[in-house]
Amino acid sequence: EDQVTQSPEALRLQEGESSSLNCSYTVSGLRGLFWYRQDPGKGPEFLFTLYSAGEEKEKERLKATLTKKESFLHITAPKPEDSATYLCAVQGDTGFQKLVFGTGTRLLVSP
Amino acid sequence: DTGVSQNPRHKITKRGQNVTFRCDPISEHNRLYWYRQTLGQGPEFLTYFQNEAQLEKSRLLSDRFSAERPKGSFSTLEIQRTEQGDSAMYLCASSFTGASNQPQHFGDGTRLSIL
């Protein structure tokens, strides 16, 4: 069964203090690993898709990387508006379309 | 670009009542998904449609739950005889069928509270 574990559960940073979020996964044939951002009371907002080990994607202060067992979301010089829950999800090759999500990392960036 | 739209945003009902939620996907997307999310957890997959065909259902989708997507456009999720454990955020997502796996784009959900 596909499984995703995210760490840490919560992370508090000062504005400008860079850090990384971890997503460890087990999946029967990775078709895609997805990062989402979720604000309170809102649905997840798509950030990145990674398809194969070694791939990297960047968007503003965020950079996602992928290995065969885990993915990292690096946050460089975060701002208070980066505060949110970051969700990682995998899609396996069982032929189905479902995403299997982790429980997320709650990020709080203080000014 | 209109995103995924879900209605109502909030629903409060008594235990045992039936409820129905609606999802309008992004117009050019032919895949539609329903997920359920409880506090502190990630979304859990419920069911998936390609056009009007329901192609996958999770074991979480008991026989009290039914989803439809007539004409391959909007979708409805109905819960019959609601129970306390049904309290959650119900999320809808849609995606475009392309050559590679397309990301799923989510609406802002319907929050269901069972009294």
Residue of chain B minimizing CA distance to A92: B101
Confidence at residue A62, expressed as pLDDT on a 0 to 100 scale: 98
Rounded average pLDDT over A76-102: 92
- From chain A, pick out residues whose CB is under 8 angstroms from the CB of B56: 96-98
User: Using the beta-carbon criterion (under 8 Å), do A87 and B43 form an inter-chain contact?
Assistant: yes
Please give the Cα distance from A88 to A9 (Å, whole number). 12
Q: What is the DSSP letter of A41?
A: T
**Parallel, antiparallel or unpaired: strands B5-7 and A105-110:** unpaired
Q: Residue A13 above 90 pLDDT?
A: yes
| Contact between B109 and A31 using a beta-carbon 8 Å cutoff | no
CA–CA min distance B109, chain A (Å): 6
Minimal CA separation from A2 to chain B, in Å: 12
Sequence-distant (≥ 6) Cβ neighbours of residue B46 within 8 angstroms? B33, B34, B35, B36, B57, B58, B60, B61, B65, B67, B77
Contact A88, A23 (CB under 8 A): yes
pLDDT of residue B100: 59
Tell if the CB–CB gap between A98 and B31 is shorter than 8 Å: no
- pLDDT at residue B97 in the model: 80
Query: Does the beta-carbon distance from B56 to A96 stay under 8 Å?
Result: yes
Predicted local distance difference test score (pLDDT) of residue B72: 85
Q: What is the mean pLDDT of residues A9-29?
A: 97
Res B60: pLDDT: 82
Nearest CA to B22 among B78, B88, B66? B78
What's the rounded mean pLDDT across residues A54-77? 97
Which residues of chain B have a CB within 8 Å of the CB of A98? 33, 45, 48, 56, 58
Q: Per mean pLDDT, which range of A12-16, B3-7, B57-61, B91-95 is the poorest?
A: B57-61
Q: Does the distance separating the beta carbons of A46 and B48 come in below 8 Å?
A: no
Given an 8 Å threshold on Cβ–Cβ distance, is B101 in contact with A100? no
- Whole-number average pLDDT of chain B: 93
Average pLDDT over residues B73-89: 97
SS3 for A96?
coil
pLDDT in tens, B54-66: 998 998 888 999 9
pLDDT of residue B99 exceeding 60: no
Residue B71: pLDDT band (50, 70, 90) is confident
How far is B63 from chain A, CA to nearest CA, in Å? 20
The tens digit of pLDDT for each residue in B30-51 reads 999 999 999 999 999 999 999 9
pLDDT on residue A95: 60
